[in-house]
Amino acid sequence: MLESKIEKYLVDSCKKRNWLCEKFTSPSGRNKPDRMITIPNKVLFVECKATGKTPNAGQLADHERRRNYNIDVYVIDSLPAVDVLLNQLESSIEC
């Protein structure tokens, strides 16, 4: 499946939950995650990939830098992966 369709599904699914799912762009360069999601008491980043594709070396390095600051970065490459991630996030804020 195309990355654009997965990203659109992610945005639409977040909107249904009244979460912010903003396009993340940075003037400082490439290899940044595609989306920044804000839910109650948490901000995280999501890299969308076409099904079967993986992040490039620059993206992986950026993800690792963020994780070193205890920032969550997720890579999703399918609609079911979107559902799994958002359901996990949803249950984490219900506690």
- 92 is written with which tokens? 């984490």
Tell the residue number behind the tokens 């195309």, with chain if given.
2
| DSSP helix/strand/coil, 25 | coil
For the chain, 95 residues long, give each residue's pLDDT as a single digit of tens.
Answer: 999 999 999 999 999 999 999 998 888 778 999 999 999 999 999 999 999 999 999 999 999 999 999 999 999 999 999 999 999 999 988 65
Q: How far apart are CA 53 and CA 37, in angstroms?
A: 22
What's the predicted TM-score (pTM) here?
Answer: 0.92
C-alpha distance from residue 3 to each of 9, 32, 39, 49, 82 (Å): 10, 15, 23, 5, 12
- 15 is written with which tokens? 């909107």
